[in-house]
Amino acid sequence: MKPKPVTQQAKISYQPVLLSWECWTPNVYAGNTINPVAHIINDDNDFKDLKNVKLIYQILDKTKAAVLKDSISLNDIPYYTTADKPLNIKIPEGLISGEYILAGKVMANGKMVSENFFNLFISDKRFITSVPVIQSSVLLYDSKGITKKSLNKLAVKFNEINSFNEIPKNSFLIIGENSADKNVADNANQLKNFIKNGGRVISMRQDSLSLININNVLDFKLTNNKVDIDNGVYPVSSLPPRNGYYVNPERPEHPIFAGITRNNLKVWSDYTGWNPRKAGQPNIYPVTDGFMLEDRAGVGATAILGNYSSGLQSIAIAEQFMGSGSIILTGLDIANRAEIDPVADRIFLNMISYASTNEGHSPYQLITSPIVWGEYETEKGIVVDQSSGFLVNATPRLTGAFANEGIKVSKEGYQLAGGTGGRFNTRPGLQYVQNGRRPWGPFVQSFGGQPKLGNTPLGEGRFWCRIPNGQNNMTSVVWNPGNVPLEIKIKVNGLEEVTKTIKPGEKVAVDAPVDKNEVGVTYTSDRRIVILETAFNKK
């Protein structure tokens, strides 16, 4: 039996002699060089100096076979001191794309006294050359010149433009990083018409000043918060930061994420050559200029593809639809990483390939099986808590010693075991599991990511999706966990609203008619009501 992950990590972290890897380039091309630093901390249990010290390091593939192995002798390390050794490691050519491990061992007098590892994603060139062929000509508006350099490095052919007077129909436009200047704002109507007539635009990351000019082009404006994730004030701001990491792919099957895993979106490689002797910090955040919708109604015309931060409030990449075209909007820090970070390069090329064709562009996800609310895989990214107004419902598991606790439902709809106090931190054996979603909006995130109610007496939850041809009915399984009858109203598109009163404790299937393949649904109810399942069918 293997130890649990937390135990395994504690075993590593609390080694008396600790080897710790510092590496700011987790994503790297085969043939490129990384410069990790091996830090060694000597807190030996026997208060001994480390003598005849040798560092052995390897790069291991998924079978734990070594594709590179080397060693270096180090000076003695007195007790209760530290040592660090910068390394220059050239990644072997010819490795295939995948996860690798930089593994190290510290030897003293021929005995291993510490070991540790660092995860790497190593890519071959096929990782980016396998992107689908670009189908139309690329136009670039790039007053800053950063994106131009990136496209040249990635061997993407493009024509640079300085005005928007005539954009050919068989082309699409890239607005370069921080290049949405006054010229973009002055020509917003021309850009809007281009998009509404079927054109495609990619807007690379824009800072708070440049985003104002992009907003002139959009039907639903964006806001770029100025909160910095590295600003160490307390209490932290309730607003999400503009920069961040661990990006969540809301639609992982989307063409923009082709070849990209969730692990690839956690931390990206620094492109500044930073080390601790330099000022500032390494540039490892995938997102540096994230944004939010000013009006949450904009989610009906905006496909949120990737998001991040507390409550997934901030958007890393999205596509806003206007007429028969669209504009891809991103806050990802991409262009500076050309030929450095293969994940950033792949996403950029995916974006370009996707924008070059009309295939696959839809604001709504296709739903072909029941949505079990609270089970993320079945929801397919059609709801984002704050924008949709849906809150995941948590129900306690009352088993064993908790079997007789009982559940009390607060007026806000929280289901609490044994009363109104949560006491999560003192009752670790009491588990709460996701069990449906509650129409709870509109709300905002407050300190610690807690949802804060507005002034409306009823909650509202909304979603949009596509359904297969021929389906004309929506069935929602609605649960009233409270002790009084509660009413729910269900509206699909512009059809007549369906109203149903649910008795205390009942779970009722409620039907509502559907008139077309693109479906917009609004649930309005008391915040105690839980939607357990939604399914589309032919009636």
The 3 state secondary structure assigned to 245-306 is CCCEECCCCCHHHCCCCCHHHCCCCCCCCCCCCCCCCCCCCCECCCEEECCHHHHHCEEEEE
- From 3.30.70.260, 1.20.120.330, 3.10.310.10, 3.40.50.880, which CATH number describes the 127-355 domain? 3.40.50.880
User: Please, what sign has the CA dihedral across residues 360, 362, 367, 372?
Assistant: positive
Cβ neighbors of 255 (< 8 A, separation 6 or more) are 132, 350, 353, 354, 360
Strand partners of residue 143:
none
Half-sphere exposure of 261 (CA within 13 A, CB side): 8
> Which pLDDT belongs to residue 130?
96
| Domain boundary assignment for the chain | 5-124, 127-355, 371-537
Q: What tens digit of pLDDT does each residue of 87-122 get?
A: 999 999 999 999 999 999 999 999 999 999 999 999
- From 2.60.120, 3.30.70, 3.10.420, 1.25.40, which CATH number describes the 371-537 domain? 2.60.120
> Which pLDDT belongs to residue 235?
80
Q: What tens digit of pLDDT does each residue of 474-531 get?
A: 999 999 999 999 999 999 999 999 999 999 999 999 999 999 999 999 999 999 999 9
Q: What tens digit of pLDDT does each residue of 176-185 get?
A: 999 999 999 9
Cβ neighbors of 209 (< 8 A, separation 6 or more) are none
> What's the angle, vertex CA 442, arms to CA 437 and CA 448, rounded to 5?
80
> Which pLDDT belongs to residue 164?
93
Q: Find, among 168, 203, 214, 176, the residue nearest to 319 by Cα.
A: 203
> Which pLDDT belongs to residue 1?
65
Counting as low any pLDDT under 70, the low residues of the chain are: 1, 420-425, 448-449
Cβ-count burial of 322 within 10 angstroms (0-12 exposed, 13-18 middle, 19+ buried)? buried
CA dihedral 337, 339, 344, 348 (to 10 degrees): 100
Question: DSSP string covering 368-434, please?
Answer: -S-EETT-HHHHTT---HHHH-EEEEEEE---GGGTT--EEE-TT--EEETSS---GGG-TT--EEE
Number of helices and strands in the chain (H, E) = 9, 34
280 CB neighbour count, 10 Å cutoff = 8
Which tokens go with 370? 């029941």
Distance of alpha carbon 197 from alpha carbon 413, whole angstroms: 45
Distances (CA, A) of 242 to 180, 187, 223, 287: 18, 27, 10, 8
Which tokens go with 504? 């205390």
361 CB neighbour count, 10 Å cutoff = 18
> What's the angle, vertex CA 523, arms to CA 517 and CA 527, rounded to 5?
155
- pTM of the full predicted structure? 0.94
Architecture of domain 5-124: Sandwich (2.60)
Distances (CA, A) of 502 to 354, 449, 499, 525: 46, 31, 10, 11
Are the CB atoms for 476 and 489 separated by under 8 Å?
Answer: no
> Which pLDDT belongs to residue 386?
77
399 CB neighbour count, 10 Å cutoff = 10
Report cis status (omega within 30 of 0) of the bond before 442: yes
Are the CB atoms for 83 and 114 separated by under 8 Å?
Answer: no
